[in-house]
Structure 1
Amino acid sequence: MERKIYRKSRFMNTTDNQVLLECVPNFSEGRNPVVIESIAAAIRQIAGVKLLHVDPGYDANRTVMTFVGAPLAVVEAAFQSIKTASQLIDMRQQQGTHPRMGATDVCPLVPIAGMSLNEAVVLARALGQRVGSELNIPVYLYEDAAQDPQRRNLATIRQGEYEGLAQKIRQPEWTPDYGPTQEPFPAGATVIGARKFLIAYNVNLNTTDVSLAKRIAEKVRASGYKVKDEQGNIQQIPGRCPGVKAIGWYMPGYGKAQVSMNITDLDLTPVHAAFVACQQEAQHLGVEVSGSELIGLAPLRVFLEAGHYFAPNESAADRLIEIAIVHLGLRELKGFDPAHRILEQCIQNEEG
């Protein structure tokens, strides 16, 4: 029923730049270029969709793809990419640093222009229903598309990861929103939802000690950390950065521990504020932040705001962008071309 709502609506107009939906699926493959390209090709074949960025991570064994376009075209591209991933990625063999529970681990829809978050929710639920019924993949709805408030948080859904899925799915409270409940699950489960813009961002430390990264993550993330008071009661201490989720991990390919963050609200915590918070917490532990890593794309405001923070008297946009890149250390691990990492620029490049 939900899929019919927009069949003859403005969402069918692939030339209307005022109606734009973004999809940022995360696939549990970051090492096999043939598999990655096959998934990308499934997206590119859909008219009205532009694949803006493909960001594979070897140690994480995960690839983040970013594409935009007319909403129904984006939903179709999302379905085709999930289908292709399910055919090529066997979760029974998959290993990597990043937490995961499915071949397409998570698939968020993000309204960019001309549509509301509620409209994206309807599309996300329709996509989830189709994935569950046609691909026989368990689907959990999250963020604003969640039908159960306990399922809004991706990390909560993903607890136990793929290895715990068969046992978890048998629990009544973890019956999937769509799709099967009986094994086997060679493609795992997929989390689908609608949300606001999110920045995936990692801060690099000059240490291999993952315990230090985890301690910094506890201090900066919104949920904070637990301590015992004098009476032995457990208390939750909030972290420094509202709207930030963070974990610590070690990336062998970089030879560095990282604080891996999802920044869910740039108005509450800009990227540069999260970076500085990590710097300060690292200093308390006797380690240094050596740079950072942006996963996927970020809107222009991220770079302008960071540039203004580090150089308050600068006004030229190009200079502010470069200042942000340098001060955040975004070129430490690999090349960083803002023309291919700023969302608005990528969209303009495709249109031009």
Structure 2
Amino acid sequence: MFNTDNRAKQLIECVPNFSEGVDAMVIKQIAGEIAGISGVKLLNVDPGKAANRTVITFAGEPGAVVEAAFLAIKKAGELIDMRVQKGEHPRMGATDVCPLIPIAHITMDETVVYAVQLARRVGEELQIPVYLYEHSQPDKRRSNLSIIRAGEYEGFFSKIKREGWAPDFGPAENDLKRGATVIGARDFLIAYNVNLNTDSVVLANEIAFDVRESGRKVGTDENGKSKYISGSLKSVKSIGWYIAEYGKAQVSMNLTNVKITPIHIAYDEVCDRANKHGVKVTGSELIGMIPLKAMLDAGSYFLQKRGRSAEVGDAALIDMAVTSMGLDELTPFNPQERIIEYVLAENKPAV
């Protein structure tokens, strides 16, 4: 992934999600804060208009990444006003979530230290309520992002006052303009949307409930506690929504462990469930970046599914993956811009 001079360097990736996907000048200014830090490479900026959300990917030495993330969170808080922000994607603040991911020569425990360092600084210096999540959160009752974010920006003015919901850092008062944010260390995650030939959010959610690990609510037990039936895909979070920009409903997924559920299995399962609900999958959309292995594995899977040999080069495998999953249906899919190893090979971190 990196040249020999960089093999001993600790490298982490940061993928903050900002609650602005429309105003190009705001997005440019936030990204500019990241690009201006020595030791960091800005890898990808992926805005979504309907979601009104931008996912920015960058990587570098831990200290530089923490500095870049802090400045980006600060700038987002200055430029984004949550009082007027609307979009399809759930959100709780100008910087909705900011994960750190270990990439090379660094453990998850070491990455947690940097995530906590960033969270403390955002809470204390910027006075933004900050919640730790995933590996950084010692209280596993509130380590899941969806549980933390439940109620979203509008609901946090009361939620933050409830017992057990004081932030880990920063004031126990939801910020009117900037909202609250979530920071933590996590494993590599693939954000992935599957497109349907319907505009029905109800159908998209039915499919999402079918496949997501948490499944669907099916009533309550004798103690009044909610009962759920698990979905078919492990390590998958999913919701359904309608994207007016595309005129399509989507099943929007986070694949939190691609070793357990790789992208090609998620795609095929959504196709199968969609058929059972009387709708068709027309293609899919990657948000942010993806590891090379995930694309090669997908290409091999679809070649073998067609009874063809997978003993071909990387370019052919990637092309098969893109074609089979319709990754270029909505926008062109450029492997040199979307596969993390290719971007890092072309633009090596300035370390």
* 3-state SS of paired residue (2:347): helix
In 2, Cα distance between the equivalents of 1:152 and 1:240?
22
Deviation at 1:234, TM superposition (A): 5.8
C-alpha deviation, 1:151, in angstroms: 1.5
Three-state SS of the structure 1 residue aligned to 2:164 is helix
Offset at residue 212 of structure 1 (A): 0.5
Q: CA deviation at 1:15?
A: 5.5
CA contact (8 A) 2:14 2:65 kept: yes
Q: In structure 2, what is the Cα distance between the partners aligned to 1:71 and 1:150?
A: 28
Letter paired with 1:224: G
Matches within 5 A, 1:1-352: 18-182=9-173, 184-228=175-219, 235-312=227-304, 313-315=309-311, 316-351=313-348
Letter in 1 for 2:345: Q
What amino acid is aligned across from residue 286 of structure 1 in structure 2?
G
Letter in 1 for 2:237: K
Q: TM-score when scaled to structure 2? A: 0.93
- 1:16-41 Cα offsets, whole Å, 9 max, x none, are 66421000000000000000000000
Shift of 1:230: 12
Cα distance change, pair 197–32 in 1 and its aligned pair in 2 (3 A):
same
Q: Show CA shifts across 1:23-72 (max 9, x none).
A: 00000000000000000000001000000000000000000000000111
Q: 1:180 to 1:273 in 2, by over 3 A?
A: same
Going from structure 1 to structure 2, the CA distance change for 1:208 and 1:317 (only over 3 Å counts) comes to same
Q: Residue 16 of structure 1 contacts residue 70 of structure 1 at CA under 8 Å; is this kept in 2?
A: no
Root-mean-square deviation (Å): 1.8
> Percent identity of the aligned residues?
54
Q: Tell me, yes or no, if the aligned pair for 2:128 and 2:175 is still in contact at 8 Å.
A: no
SS at match of 1:335: coil
Mapped to 2, the partners of 1:233 and 1:84 lie a distance apart of: 42
How far did residue 224 of structure 1 move?
1.0
Q: Determine the C-alpha separation between the residues in 1 that align with 2:277 and 2:244.
A: 21
Name the CA shift for 1:17/1:299 in 2 (closer, same or farther; >3 Å).
farther
Secondary structure at the residue paired with 1:297?
coil
Gaps of 5+ in 1: 1-13
Q: Is there any run of 5+ residues in structure 2 with no aligned partner, and where?
A: none
* Amino acid aligned to 1:170: K
Q: 8 Å contact 1:15–1:48 — kept in the other structure?
A: no
The CA deviation at 1:236 is 1.8
Structure-2 change in CA distance of 1:233 and 1:146 (3 Å): closer
8 Å Cα contact 1:28/1:61 also seen in 2: yes
Q: Which amino acid aligns with 1:271?
A: I
Matched residue count: 339
For residues 213 and 57 of structure 1, the distance between their equivalents in structure 2, rounded to whole angstroms, comes to 19
Q: Once the 2 structures are TM-superposed, how far is the Cα of residue 182 of structure 1 from its aligned partner?
A: 3.0
Q: Distance in 2 between matches of 1:70 and 1:211?
A: 44
Change in Cα spacing, 1:164 to 1:239, as seen in structure 2 (3 Å) is same
Letter aligned with residue 262 of structure 1: N
Q: Secondary structure at the match of 1:50?
A: strand
Q: Which amino acid aligns with 1:73?
A: A
Shift of the 183–199 alpha-carbon distance from structure 1 to 2, 3 Å rule, reads closer
Distance 1:17 1:94 in 2: 43
* Kept in 1: contact 2:129–2:173 (CA 8 A): no
1:314 partner amino acid? A
Match of 1:260, SS state, is strand
Distance 1:141 1:183, change over 3 A: closer
**Using the alignment, how far apart are the partners of 1:30 and 1:183 within structure 2?**
22
Give distance in 1, aligned partners of 2:203 and 2:235.
22
Q: Is the 8 A contact 1:293 1:330 kept in 2?
A: yes
For residues 146 and 230 of structure 1, what CA distance do their matches in structure 2 show?
Answer: 29
In the alignment, the residues of structure 2 paired with residue 319 and residue 305 of structure 1 have an alpha-carbon distance, to the nearest angstrom, of 12
Once the 2 structures are TM-superposed, how far is the Cα of residue 184 of structure 1 from its aligned partner? Answer: 4.2
Contact 1:21 1:113 survives alignment (8 Å): yes
Letter aligned with residue 262 of structure 2: P
Secondary structure at the counterpart of residue 105 of structure 1: strand
Structure 1: distance between partners of 2:218 and 2:181: 34
